Amino acid sequence: MHGGHRLSSQYLGFRTLTPSRLPSKISQNSRRPAWYRTYSTTHSLFCETSRVNFREPYWYKIPVWKDVTEKEFLDYSWQVANTVQGKYKLAKYLYAVLPEHIPYDEDAPETSRHIQTRDMFVQDVLGGISLAPMSIRITPHVMSVIDWTKPLSDPIRRQFIPLRSSFIEDHPMLQLDSLNETGSSPTPGLVHRYHDKALFLAVSVCPVYCRFCTRSYSVGGPTEEVSKKNIFPPTRRRWEPMFKYIEETPQLSDIVVSGGDGYYIPPEHLTSITERLLAIPHIRRIRIASKGLAVCPSRILTPGDEWTQAIIKASAAARQMGKSVALHTHFNHPAEMTWITRLATQKLYEEGVTVRNQTVMLRGVNDNVTTMKTLIRMLADNNIIPYYVYQGDMVSGVEELRTPLSTILEIERHIRGSIAGFATPNFVIDLPGGGGKRLAVSYDTYDRSTGVSTYVVPDMNGGKDKVYEHHDPL
């Protein structure tokens, strides 16, 4: 352990096990990555039949879950009970799932290729956690789609589990609240940056904690690096000043309910929030922001789940009023979508719930044309609107995941025109310091040698335009 005694498989009380292989019809005779092979195998079948016929128990690859039935895995309460939370539970899980000897991985970051054993990997992870701005919480669904035969380069692992050896020193311009959300808050928990839109931060917890979270200053439990002082408890008392501001600000028409994650808003609170907002005459659109569909899709399929029913009812009620309630979710890689995800998205589609997706460009995850194009088409094929692809925010502690602006520009250049326009997302940058979202390609200047780009943002009140800078990784 970084800064302490080392943990072994014997110390953690787990038997050494080797993860089982994927079915041979998927894994053999191909050099494509596992996520691409799985998608290729199932995609044409899914499109031709409009049903999900391939129900691979993908969690069987995890030794400790090899006896879990489909019914159990689909149950949301089982997912919550078996979520891996905290560094010690993660270490136990890693000792159970990793092979004793980790094969050389040419796709891994060069600084991590020296890791050859399970013990080395676990110690590197524990060292990474000690430097990370986000705590550890990962659902069984996410753990099951990671390719544990290639843990050093797996794109899902990179999003949720840090390695000390891959850390890069922060750019001097990085900060925790890179978008200056606290500076745009007329009352705590409400961000009003755009003329007609506000962000309603309902909770501070999520079903998983992404390493690159733009709200690492407030979301999740405290870490060794971040104390998390600005939290947002889900209480009506805290929300009341936020509702009052919205009611007294007629220019607002669009509210994003986020956090944290909308999945962790109690169902009765989700209902009261949407009903209160829909009752305000000038509010026309509500978006519920949740990564839940991407990281724990079985909740949508759990019979009688009250959260799912709450968003379905809110969507229907808004539609009757000529308004809209939509779900905004967050897929970053094709491997995150399984047959369970497809069933969940189909249920929401049949119930009339609009679902849009926001992807974050991340190094080693989706920063190439093939992966991004596959993801966008997969989303569209499952009636999820590909809404945004974001340039990664300039947040502290995840420099290794940031990409230069040139990457998102080049990927958009290859994708735009190759996919139907209504299914092509906007490739955007959320400007540091509170400049808001702009098309990535709309920069005023971009010096690729220094990595500094500038964007000119018109003043909404008729004042002088303001110039915002973005900095590529060093």
pLDDT along the chain (474 residues), means of 10: 39 35 33 46 36 76 94 97 96 95 94 96 96 94 96 97 95 87 91 95 94 86 79 88 98 96 96 98 98 98 97 98 98 97 98 98 97 97 97 92 98 96 97 94 97 92 87 94
- CA angle in degrees (0–180, nearest 5) for 277-282-285: 60
**Residue 461 CB contacts under 8 Å (≥ 6 apart), including other chains:** none
- Residue 227's CB: how many other CB atoms inside 10 A? 9
Q: How many residues does the chain have?
A: 474
φ, ψ of residue 121 in degrees (nearest 5): -65, -50
- Can you read off the two tokens belonging to residue 125? 């992870």
- CA dihedral sign of residues 298, 336, 432, 355: negative
* pLDDT in the model for residue 460: 67
pLDDT digits (tens, 9 = 90+) for 95-139: 999 999 999 999 999 999 999 999 999 999 999 999 998 999 999
Q: Single out the residue of 112, 64, 60 nearest to residue 92, CA to CA.
A: 64
pLDDT digits (tens, 9 = 90+) for 31-43: 455 444 444 433 4
Q: Are 205 and 234 in contact (CB under 8 A)?
A: no
Q: What single letter denotes the amino acid at residue 301?
A: L
* pLDDT in the model for residue 459: 81
* pLDDT in the model for residue 163: 97
Specify the pTM.
Answer: 0.88
* pLDDT in the model for residue 33: 52
* pLDDT in the model for residue 39: 43
